[in-house]
Structure 1
Amino acid sequence: MSKIESPKTHDSLEFGGSVWLQSGAQTLGGAARIGLLAAIRDSGSITAAAKSVGMSYKAAWDAIDTMNNLAGKPLVTTATGGRGGGGTKLTPTALRLIETYRAVEREHRKFLQRAGEAIEGFAQDWQLIGRLGMKTSARNQLAGKVTKLTRGAVNDEVELGLPGGQTIVAVVTHESTEALGLKEGSDAFALIKASWVMLMEDTNAKLSARNQLRGTVASVTKGAVNAEVTLSLNDATTITAIITNQSADTLGLAQGQKAVAVIKASSVIIGVND
């Protein structure tokens, strides 16, 4: 699905979009990976190509390995020494892939422009459709914007602003930050398994867990051993936790009660629509 920029003014609509190619259920390449291939074609060097597209050398090699595996045949080959000298080259398949992608991308942008001119509110609706079509095993999918990005010695800390004003923080690797193209103001979503969410009473207790999302219990569904508890953070956003029935009884959880969802930053997965 495509990333779409909101109209800057009522009279002037400007849309940005991208497409991706798939191999089975896996993404073979989107704008970032195709851009990397094109940079390798132009420079003949993975080091130079990675630098030109803003990737680390390791992230570039990871992307190349993934593309080679998904394509089922080499897209990038390297050679050292010899009569023709060393260097990195694209195979005919990779060259054709770049041209195919560029052609589809041109037609896709024409489609977005036509749709934007014909449909009021198209930009926001198209972005929402992309999120609704996402499939994942994680029960909780929270959409927001990156409000803060803090670089660390090994990992980065990403703060995501959620609808309603609350924030959620995730710890990700440098490579993930680069691969996802994360920056302040960019759209992203947080994925959190229900079993990673802890619940507590709405108090001012101090915890080591970075994320404490306050809300109101919307429902409590008990099973043989565990209970599924859904917390409304605001009118549009909910988060679900799986806890034991004993814990639910101890906390006295019931519809309408205030509660806090507690999540470690290391348990939050960040994703974007390519």
Structure 2
Amino acid sequence: MTNQTGLRVGEDRFRLLEAIGRLGSISAAAKEAGLSYKAAWDAANALNNLFARPLIVTRPGGRHGGGAEVTAAGRRALRTHRRLTESLGELLAGLDLSLADGQDDPDLPGPSLWSFLMKTSARNCFHGVVSAITAGSVNTEVSLRISETTTITAVLTNQSVAALDLRQGRPAFALIKASTPLLTRDMEGMRLSARNQIHGTVLSIDKGAVNTEAVLDIGGGKTLAAIITNNSAWALALEPGMRCCALIKASQIILGVE
């Protein structure tokens, strides 16, 4: 199934979503699906970011406590996925027959069918709606509203804006590599030149040999993953529950449409 951005949401994530709805727990669903707790959390966060409304909400309780619930939007996504899977199977079966016969069927869907196979390596992918466009002589500033509390701004060439046919009110998606955001302590009154200053609360920290991955809750059911050096994480004294600000240059955000 694809979300509104046209990006592929894998079958494994829908199996996890169904298990969360049935078991009421991300840790229990991860165990059933054969995933690590972190992998399940990453998948849950990715699902929430990819859709306009959160599919999963959690209740506090720590790593082995609390619980999780699939929202009404999540249940609709599961129903749609089941119907789409059945329909896609029929379409592909028909396509196989057509190819075997060496015939071209004008009624078969074109390249948009293969958008189901699209993947991206970007750690952060957000669905949103274009809320404002400010054109310049060479570049255009595009604002994308990804939740009720967060709007991100990207700077694209005028040629790219025209090629994507970006306009106010059009759905689009933003790709942000995890290595892009710079994290800083959430300091009131601080003035910086970065166009995007996204405030959030640290949800989790995963320290590696060289780098640390921090996941921020940025409101509206959305999360942002940032990878920084271990030295930087130590200097910031990062810990869950701490307020942070992610700084992202507008020129480092990639926008796309279906």
For residues 150 and 199 of structure 1, do their structure 2 counterparts lie closer, same or farther at Cα, with a shift above 3 Å needed?
Answer: same
3-state DSSP class of the match of 1:165?
A: coil
3-state DSSP class of the match of 1:188?
A: strand
For residues 202 and 171 of structure 1, do their structure 2 counterparts lie closer, same or farther at Cα, with a shift above 3 Å needed?
Answer: same
**CA apart distance, 1:105:** 5.4
Aligned mate of 1:182, from 166, 174, 190: 166
CA distance in 2, matches of 1:3, 1:213: 23
Unpaired segments of 5 or more residues in structure 2?
6-103
3-state DSSP class of the match of 1:255?
A: coil
**CA apart distance, 1:144:** 0.8
- Identical pairs, percent: 46
**CA apart distance, 1:104:** 3.6
**CA apart distance, 1:164:** 3.1
| 2:220 is the counterpart of 1:259 | no
Aligned mate of 2:175, from 167, 175, 191: 191
CA distance in 1, matches of 2:256, 2:246: 21
3-state DSSP class of the match of 2:225?
A: strand
CA distance in 1, matches of 2:191, 2:152: 17
Query: 4+ residue runs of structure 1 moved beyond 2 angstroms?
Result: 1-4, 103-106
The two structures have a TM-score, normalised by structure 1, of 0.52
Aligned mate of 2:185, from 201, 204, 220: 201
What's the RMSD between the two structures over aligned residues?
Answer: 2.7
3-state DSSP class of the match of 2:162?
A: helix
Q: Structure 1: which amino acid aligns with 2:170?
A: S
CA distance in 2, matches of 1:138, 1:163: 19
Question: Which residue matches 1:221?
Answer: 206
Question: Which residue matches 1:238?
Answer: 223
Q: Structure 2: which amino acid aligns with 1:186?
A: R
Aligned residues: 156
| 2:106 is the counterpart of 1:153 | no
Unpaired segments of 5 or more residues in structure 1?
5-96, 109-129
Provide, for residues 96-123 of structure 1, a one-character-per-residue CA deviation record: whole Å limited to 9, x for no partner. x9x94xx4459x9xxxxxxxxxxxxxxx
**CA apart distance, 1:163:** 1.2
Q: Structure 1: which amino acid aligns with 2:147?
A: P
Map 1:1-274 to 2 at 5 A. 100=106, 103-104=107-108, 134-203=118-187, 204-273=189-258
3-state DSSP class of the match of 2:149?
A: coil
CA distance in 2, matches of 1:243, 1:105: 43
CA distance in 1, matches of 2:177, 2:210: 18
The two structures have a TM-score, normalised by structure 2, of 0.55
**CA apart distance, 1:134:** 4.5
Which has more radius of gyration? 1
